[in-house]
Chain A
């Protein structure tokens, strides 16, 4: 019968597909979602170098936390590249990444960015500083920091911004609570957040510069402002300890920090981790830029702010939710 022949054809096609996959050494890259286009350019560029000649790649992109948990639950990976360091340290705890993954010149980081305010055309509410966000009637959209690991950058940027403005830690926490009262939507991921904002919700969307630039490159009507005091986002990369092609994987990671590779990252909206590749591109300096260390480092911050039961943000969410 027709049905059986169709099935037979499909089953026979299977080996052909499988055969296509079995050649060269294959490295699996598991990354968060935004650098997909960047890696789409970086991998072919790497394959043109001597180190990358006989290597092929399988690539998986998704939300940073989701990908991290996927790797923890069994997703095969030689190289992991996430949005923030805690998504890698959780793999260290599961013995999937070596403890010393960040012991190099770049502290394990491969790209950078900053937290920005995406605003409506012309910035009608004139939102430039963190205090501006508390103006009456201002509606904020930010990804949910409990489902979007990357959204934690937003929270720490706000907190650090308050510290920079001279507040004490306690007052800065109060600032967070006040700011959260203005949050009208907390979509699950950064990408969804941008779409929510572009669909008309809110006056300001807390985003990462590279996300905003990506949207602009895709023709979306995005305008953003970088507050004076903002956090330096640093995106980590590591070779897994379960990798069976460690030296090749490390060669790839090494390549990613060379000038040509960092230039590609920069062209895709990321701030580089090395100097001298940003000619012609605009990555403004911010006078009160700070890093996660300024607000205590991830280990402390994760516990204090983002513990699902006792964290500062958990309490703020619970009191303002519903």
Chain B
């Protein structure tokens, strides 16, 4: 039927123009003169430092949010407590907030004159870590909660009556059921943490080598008319994104794939 082809053509065309073409073009521009010029642009001391900063942010935010995510999911689903509805809504807040607002909130809290001010948090790495933790907080929770709901408590209760402690129950019964959902959540969390820009823009001191993340570095290179540097770093981030995509596709919960 013509209809099928029209829709297919329109949908694919939209994706091509909006997504594939721009990203593909930047890849092409970056490697146009070969691999080594791009490699040089991305291995300058500043670029390497920026990558290190980004990796530190991820290395702290992702494990923290994973542990929180599992704990919170268990708390929300298994131990319905007064205020769990609000708790749930607050967990979702980072998804609705502009990252600049997140940065501002941290600035007001930890900056000079703030309630927790004067301790070298903002304009230093800790501030950026907190910002990254904030924005990437919801993902593990949101992935694990539906799975926990779906599997029900029968097996866990069975384990309890057989004498298992809470830890044993978790390790032997709960965890195997939620581990793929958790893994998927971890991938989403990592992607969000890697890509954070708005919040860290506000709380970063832009100290080269210390508080300039790779995303900030991309903007900085662009503004210094260093197109090669900007594109090359963008490509590094894009490659990490593609890896994340592959992991996402592999780990995606069954009901969303064909």
Taking CB atoms and an 8 Å cut-off, the chain B residues in 111-134 that contact chain A are 111-113, 117-118, 120-124
Per the CB 8 Å criterion, the residue count for chain B at the interface is 32
Residue-by-residue, is A62-78 near B (CB-CB < 8 Å gives 1, otherwise 0)?
10000100101111100
C-beta contact mask, A28-57 vs B, less than 8 Å → 1, else 0? Answer: 101001001000000000000000000000
Question: CA of A17 to CA of B107 in the docked complex: distance in angstroms?
Answer: 26
Q: Kindly identify which residue among A7, A17, A28, A76 contacts B63, using a CB–CB cutoff of 8 Å.
A: A7
Contact partner of B111 among A33, A61, A74, CB < 8 A? A74
Residue A177 is within 8 A (CB to CB) of chain B in the complex: no
Chain A: interface size category: 20 to 34
Q: Which residue of B lies closest to A191 (CB)?
A: B223
Question: Knowing A10-B59, A74-B112 touch, does A195 contact B223 (C-beta < 8 A)?
Answer: yes
Does the CB pair A58–B209 fall under 8 Å?
Answer: yes
| B60-97 vs A, Cβ < 8 Å mask (1 yes, 0 no) | 00110000000000000000000000000000000000
B147 within 8 Å of A by Cβ?
no
* Stretch of A102-110, A153-161, A214-222, A232-240 with 4 or more beta carbons under 8 angstroms from chain B: A214-222
Q: How far is the CA of A44 from the CA of B211 in the complex (A)?
A: 21
A74→B123 contact, CB < 8 A = yes
The distance from the CB of B178 to the nearest CB of chain A, in whole angstroms, is: 14
Interface of chain B: mostly helix, strand, loop or mixed: loop
Residue of A3, A21, A28, A218 with most partner-chain B CB within 10 A:
A3
Determine if B243 is an interface residue (Cβ-Cβ < 8 Å).
no
Q: Report the nearest A residue to B123, measured CB to CB.
A: A75
Chain A, Cβ-Cβ closest to B110:
A74
- Is A59 engaged at the interface, CB distance under 8 Å to the other chain? yes
What residues of A have a CB within 8 angstroms of the CB of B56 in the complex?
A: 10, 14, 17
Q: Is B252 an interface residue (CB 8 A)?
A: no
A132 within 8 A of B: no
Q: How far is the CA of A73 from the CA of B119 in the complex (A)?
A: 11
**B63:A74 contact, CB within 8 angstroms:** no
B210 and A58 within 8 A (CB): yes
A61 and B223 contact, CB distance less than 8 A: no
Bits for A190-227, please: 1 = Cβ < 8 Å to B, else 0: 01100100000000000000000001001110000000
A residues sitting closer than 8 Å to B (CB atoms) are 3, 7, 10-11, 14, 17, 21, 28, 30, 33, 36, 58-62, 67, 70, 72-76, 191-192, 195, 215, 218-220
Q: Which 6 A-B pairs have the closest CB atoms?
A: A10-B59, A75-B123, A218-B225, A73-B111, A60-B207, A74-B112
